[in-house]
A and B are shown apart, each in its own frame.
Chain A
Amino acid sequence: MRLAIDSFSLVPVTDQQQHSASLALRHLTKRFGPKVAADDVSLDVPVGSMFGLLGPNGAGKTTTLSMTTGLLRPDAGTAFVLGANVWEDPAAAKGRMGVLPEAEQMFNRLTGRELLRYTGLLRGMAAEDVVSRTDELLEALGLTDAASKLVVDYSSGMTKKIGLASALIHAPRLLILDEPFESVDPVSGETIRSILRSYVAGGGTVVLSSHVMELVENLCDHVAIMAEGRVLAAGTLDDVRAGQSLQERFLGMVGVHQLGEESLSWLRS
């Protein structure tokens, strides 16, 4: 069950805004057979915001982000990164954003240091900059000791951190992170959070997806809620939660799966 779109939730978007916004999604649509994974998704992410994309599993978060980062060609619509159209001028758009790769998307038979060097050089950076930033990033993320180990042997938390480092190495103005805190231990999680906070304080923009409400509520200043491929609400954190907790708002919009009296009765025997 889903509520109708609230009046505040969709900001009318114009062509001017896509230049002032750090990231502007316009009518992104993707079908997989009969299933509409993303249905006319439009969003604006203001410069300097920490933007949380929320939604249950299968809501279309990853599909939407893949179409934003150039991994998945949309059936319709496009995305603008600081004014550059991802699907018309991919080189410009990709140069301005950093993306946290999924574990399986990393060349994990390289060591951590080699992976960062590889990403930096692919980004067209000068070798000296790559080397100095690699050392700083490894240090900041607590990976110096593991720098000469193959990424395939990293724990999943370490893998997330080296992925974040490779997203940051070219100092992008926009960071796109799909589930950055998944399977990250609390200590590493705090490291990542503080890096993201100082990045945003320095004028960078972060878009992160998650389904952990508390985390998004604590960290983000803007949020959007997705379900079944659609954006149900978007805006500042306070606008979206409208006096309730984010969890309550989220469940109110996405709908709670109510258990009947009779279901699983045998468990109580």
Chain B
Amino acid sequence: MVAQLVTLQLRQLGHLLTRSGWAIVATVFSGLGALGFLGALAALLITLRAFAPEMLPPAMVVVGAAAVLIWMLGSLLIQGSHQLAPERFALLPLRPGPLARGLAAASAAGIGGVITIGLLLLSLIAWSVSLPALLAMVLMLPVALATCVLAGRAFSALLARAFASRKTRDFTSILLMMALVSTGLWLQFGIMAAYELGENLEALERFINIIATTPFGAAFGVPLAVWHGEYGIAAIRLVVALATVALLLWAWTAQVGARLVNPIQMRGSGTIRGGGLLERLFPATPVGAIAVRSLRYRRRDPRMIINAVLMPFLPVFVMAVWGMNGVLPLDLLPYLALFLPFMLSTVVGMDLAYDHANFATHLLTGVSGKDDRAGRALAIAVIAVPFALVLVLGSSAIFGAWDHTVAALALTLSSTLIALGAGSWLGVYLPGRAPRPGASPFGKGSSGGIQALVQMLASVAIIGALLLPTIGLLIGSVFVPWLNWMALLAGTAIGVATLVLGIRVGGKALDKRGPQVLQAVTSES
């Protein structure tokens, strides 16, 4: 059973990675990226091992406990689209025990599992500080891996029934996403706390010892205790670690057994009330209708809610962090609003990919490419343009730094409009790929594929090139101050012109390429 399910998982993984030419290119690149990341991590560990070996084992305990937590949250996120959900086996004559073990083993053979195994093996570098500790960790490797995998599957399975309601599902995935994205902030708080604790080494040690005895860190606590020569504590932690695995396996098996006979039925979200406001704000034309639909989707479709939440959240977040740290001189902070246009460019460009087969509706009704482009751009512009103003003026006001406000406004406004125009045009040729409607926002295709990457690079190049006149005027304003107002004017004009042109040219291209675009965004290969 275990061997069969692991083979099944590997075969699915293989198909996913080599589905098409684009997929293979993407696989090679992400594979190289992953290898580079692991290499850099290995180099870091080896350096630390050489210069500060006594730091490493306690750090590994914290990292290990964090890995278990990440597995739990991560498996919640991919919940809906789990390839190996127990329900899929409900019609086969299988007993819960072997099936649960097999599914867990198959999880370890998935992408997350492979990464975890790689990281666990790398952690051996850290544990090589002493031979007994290294041996202890080698023995604990399977336990650590089992803890991660089982914690993930058991935790998400326990919550699965609550997640059958679409509202809970959507809400949680947004919440978790924000938590994940703001990891930087939490890390910063963590590091600040650790720094405070670092003053007080005893407290830090006590803290790590507590983690090392909890179910989260016990598997890694064993070698830590061995390293300290505290074999009694090591034995206690071993018992905790093994009991954790046993308990998780029991919980997971029970859940699999329950779901084999009582599969989870997904529930809908009930009645939508109101909603007339948007319809009154936009004209009752194809452009207005498309804008209204785009805005509604940004609120109702979890794949898009995340983008919609992240887009304003990230620039604010980056400004807040840099502002608090004093990394940048405060009067330069308004320039950070430029994060917005760079994120925007792919949002517009990938709109068609997010439509997936739904784009057929536009083709069937014969709506013109120009109206299609204009409606989508309008929906984003009504949010993005005011928000760009708020970002620049708000950060100037909060930090009381007005010297660069006009310049930052010129650059941000211009590049926001250029990004919308460039995306309207590029998106027709490089629509990219998105998870299908209803699928998990983090599942297949969530990275947008290599096309989205090319699209982003092209869009950045276009933004850079078209910003040059504005930048020129801003440089001039160092000598002739009123030129910065000219820059604002010229930048806005260039932006508007690009947007209009992007909609026109993109619209014409869409009229011609509509059926090809539909095929590209719906093809699974």
Contacts and interface: CB of A to CB of B under 8 A. Distances in A.
A71 B515 contact: yes
Contacts of A118: 289, 292-293, 361
A150 B288 contact: no
Given A111-B272, A118-B293, A153-B269, A94 B366 contact: yes
Contacts of A121: 284-286, 288-289
Contact of B296 (A70, A110, A122): A110
Interface string B274-298: 0100010000111011101100110
Contacts of A72: 515, 519
Interface string B291-325: 01100110011000000000000000000000000
Given A73-B516, A122-B286, A104 B296 contact: no
Interface string B260-281: 0000000011111101000100
A95 B365 CA distance: 7
A166 to B, nearest CB: 8
Given A118-B289, A122-B367, A127-B284, A105 B270 contact: no
Contacts of A130: 284
B398 to A, nearest CB: 36
B368 interface: yes
B517 to A, nearest CB: 11
Contacts of B268: 149-150, 152-153
B365 A122 contact: yes
Nearest to A119: B365
B516 A70 contact: no
Nearest to B519: A72
A101 B361 CA distance: 7
B437 interface: yes
B356 to A, nearest CB: 8
Contacts of B357: 102, 104-105
A123 interface: yes
B515 A110 contact: no
A72 B517 CA distance: 10
A114 B367 contact: no
Contact of A148 (B272, B362, B515): B272
A106 interface: yes
B360 interface: yes
B272 A149 contact: yes
A252 interface: no
A117 interface: yes
A107 B366 contact: no
Interface in A114-167: 114, 117-119, 121-124, 126-127, 130, 148-150, 152-153
Interface in B339-373: 356-358, 360-368
Nearest to B513: A73
A117 B296 CA distance: 13
A76 interface: no
Contacts of B366: 70, 90-91, 93-95, 123
Tell which of B270, B297, B358 has the most Cβ of chain A within 10 Å.
B358
Interface in A7-63: none
A149 B516 CA distance: 32
A108 B437 contact: yes
B434 to A, nearest CB: 14
Interface string B70-99: 000000000000000000000000000000
Contacts of B232: none
B360 A101 contact: yes
A267 B138 CA distance: 53
Interface in A57-93: 69-73, 90-91, 93
A99 B473 CA distance: 54
A123 B361 CA distance: 10
Contacts of A106: 358, 361
A109 interface: yes
Nearest to A149: B271
A257 B92 CA distance: 29
Contact of A124 (B286, B360, B518): B286
Nearest to A170: B365
B279 A117 contact: yes
Nearest to A124: B286
A95 B367 CA distance: 10
A105 B360 CA distance: 6
Contacts of A119: 361, 365
B284 A107 contact: no
Given A105-B357, A107-B358, A109-B296, A150 B272 contact: yes
B216 to A, nearest CB: 38
Given A94-B366, A106-B358, A121-B285, A148 B273 contact: yes
Contacts of B358: 104-108
Contacts of B437: 104, 108-109, 152
A6 B211 CA distance: 81
A117 B285 CA distance: 11
B481 interface: no
Nearest to A111: B272
A72 B364 CA distance: 11
Nearest to A126: B284
Contact of B300 (A69, A71, A94, A150): A150
A123 B368 CA distance: 10
Contacts of B289: 117-118, 121-122
Contacts of B285: 121, 124
B464 interface: no
15 contacts: A69-B364, A91-B366, A107-B358, A109-B296, A109-B437, A114-B275, A117-B279, A118-B293, A118-B361, A119-B361, A119-B365, A121-B289, A122-B365, A149-B271, A152-B268
Given A94-B364, A114-B272, A117-B289, 4 more contacts: A73-B515, A104-B437, A106-B358, A152-B438
**Which 4 interchain pairs have the tightest Cβ spacing?**
A94-B366, A153-B268, A127-B284, A121-B289
Interface of A: 69-73, 90-91, 93-95, 99, 101-102, 104-111, 114, 117-119, 121-124, 126-127, 130, 148-150, 152-153
